[in-house]
Structure 1
Amino acid sequence: METPPPFFFDTHAHLDFLPLRERLVEELAQARAVGVGAWVVPGVRPAGWPALLATVAKVPEVLAAPGVHPLAAADWNEETAAALTGLLDAAVAVGEIGLDGTLSHPSPAVQERAFRDQVRLAIAARRPLLIHCRKAMGRTLEILRDEGAQRVGGIFHAFSGSSESARDALRMNFAIGLGGVLTFTGARRGPELARSLPAEWLVLESDAPDLAPEPYRGQINRPAYLPLIAARLADLRGWSLAETAAITTANARRVLGLHPY
């Protein structure tokens, strides 16, 4: 009898986005065939929450993390906050939220308001956070400290900061999400972090349909590609693929408050 593949947990996949949404059954079947068996779908815009929830409703192993991404921070208001609060009982996390210093709009002030408010909602609901951070690491960490985010922790998606920043995040109970960039030819910071950070704070993410790993870089990213990221992490850590799956899946379950760990 053929040995089944290890079980992988994808902590960040936009399964509600096209083209994956149109082929969800086929995409997830292909992913399951290579061992990927659980997914977290983060939110981006309030207008996209119905599609996110519809996607999650189709598959028990797909979990919702609604939120307002910094690029949509101008959509944040009292009505949006009330709507998000109403979704959190059925959500595993609040995401994808944070700051993006590469955006000229919305302004930093608008982004920060949406970010802080969502951190507070997550803490009140006892839900972990999925953090988006680009070119704003110091300020992101400062806000998380100010708001006491260590009470819920979460995952830094597509982490691109320094080793020092990563360890600051770990001290606030945030895991580091490792995705397709880890596999890129010439990548340095990501592999170094993957080698040096404590094993219990590493999780896997595809970010499908974006950031496909090698050898599919530049193409549509698919949920079935997650084991390629796991294989790179295994190589960097000297782990077997089965060990990598077990460690990162247990980490994801712990950080997201899912049982068993």
Structure 2
Amino acid sequence: MLIDTHVHVNARQFMDDRDEVIQRAFDSGVNYMVVVGFDRETIPLAIEIAEKYDTIYAAVGWHPVDAVDMTDEDLTWIEELSSHPKVVAIGEMGLDYHWDKSPKDIQKEVFRKQIQLAKKVKMPIIIHNREATEDIIEILQEEDANEVGGIMHCYNDSVRYVQACLDMNFYISLGGPVTFKNAPLPKEVAAQVPLDRLLVETDAPFLAPHPNRGKRNEPAYVKLVAEKIAEIREMPIDEISEITTKNAFTLFGIQAK
């Protein structure tokens, strides 16, 4: 049994075969998933999918790339949705310095507002980080994000930042890059992160793991991520699956079905 803790089956890339993709995941032993909505288009669909499937849940938040588009009404909307019985986290949120659509100061403001909202509704947060690690850690510390904790989504940074994340009550989630031959950082993290803080994800349709790199990712492929981590840690795949699933259930407050 596995849970894909971060998937976008609500993305346009799955418009034509969403149900088939979800069924393939179930058939491959990925029994649970969290669908992440991050803007006005993807949030309602994340909720809709979670309502349709008993073992699929949703997270709702605002992506940093689109921070410039978020209004106070959007923040209120996210707060209202947080009370939905299938919503288990706020996010994804964070900072993205790779793209320049949203100025950094606006990204930081929207990030802080969502952390404050998560603390208000007492829900964990999901962090998107691209080329902004030190600023993200600083903001999380200043906003006392340790009160709710959450996930460092698709962690792809140095091991030296891991302890700061753990100290703030965050889990480290690894995705497709841990399987890439030219990506040493996630492998180092996979070897060292405490097992009780480890999660797996796909971020589908993005970042498909080897041997599907470059193709559309699917939640079924989270098993490839778990297998690689098991190989790195010299552990049985079943044990990694059990541990990461238990961790996700604890974080999200999910009961096994």
What are the Cα deviations for residues 176-211 of structure 1, in whole angstroms up to 9, with x where unaligned? 111000001122111011001111111000111110
Q: 1:251 aligns with which of 247, 252, 255?
A: 247
Shift of 1:40: 0.7
Provide the secondary structure at the position in 1 that maps to 2:35: strand
What is the match of residue 18 of structure 2? 24
Shift of 1:46: 2.3
What are the Cα deviations for residues 28-51 of structure 1, in whole angstroms up to 9, with x where unaligned? 221112110111111221233222
Question: How is 1:82-161 mapped onto 2 (pairs within 5 angstroms)?
Answer: 82-90=76-84, 91-161=87-157
Whether contact under 8 Å (2:9, 2:204) holds in the other structure is yes
What are the Cα deviations for residues 63-110 of structure 1, in whole angstroms up to 9, with x where unaligned? 110110001101222111111111001210011100011122200011
1:169 aligns with 2:165: yes
Normalising to structure 2: TM-score of the pair? 0.96
Whether contact under 8 Å (2:50, 2:57) holds in the other structure is yes
**How many angstroms apart in 2 are the aligned matches of 1:216 and 1:80?**
36
1:195 aligns with 2:197: no
**How many angstroms apart in 2 are the aligned matches of 1:134 and 1:186?**
18
Identity of aligned residues (%): 36
Change (3 A) 1:58 1:215: same
**How many angstroms apart in 2 are the aligned matches of 1:104 and 1:29?**
37
Whether contact under 8 Å (1:46, 1:75) holds in the other structure is no
**How many angstroms apart in 1 are the aligned matches of 2:210 and 2:123?**
33
> Can you give the 5+ residue segments of structure 1 that lack an aligned partner in the other structure?
1-6
What are the Cα deviations for residues 95-154 of structure 1, in whole angstroms up to 9, with x where unaligned? 110001112220001101110000000111011001001111011011111111111111
- 2:156 maps to a residue whose letter is S
Whether contact under 8 Å (2:11, 2:42) holds in the other structure is no
**How many angstroms apart in 2 are the aligned matches of 1:259 and 1:53?**
18
Give the number of aligned pairs: 254
What are the Cα deviations for residues 217-248 of structure 1, in whole angstroms up to 9, with x where unaligned? 00001111111111000001111011010011
Normalising to structure 1: TM-score of the pair? 0.94
**How many angstroms apart in 2 are the aligned matches of 1:70 and 1:240?**
37
Provide the secondary structure at the position in 1 that maps to 2:220: helix
**How many angstroms apart in 1 are the aligned matches of 2:152 and 2:189?**
13
1:51 aligns with 2:45: yes
Provide the secondary structure at the position in 2 that maps to 1:122: helix
Provide the secondary structure at the position in 1 that maps to 2:46: helix
Change (3 A) 1:19 1:103: closer
Provide the alpha-carbon RMSD of the alignment.
1.2
**How many angstroms apart in 1 are the aligned matches of 2:165 and 2:129?**
12
> Can you give the 5+ residue segments of structure 2 that lack an aligned partner in the other structure?
none
Whether contact under 8 Å (2:37, 2:45) holds in the other structure is no
1:41 aligns with 2:35: yes
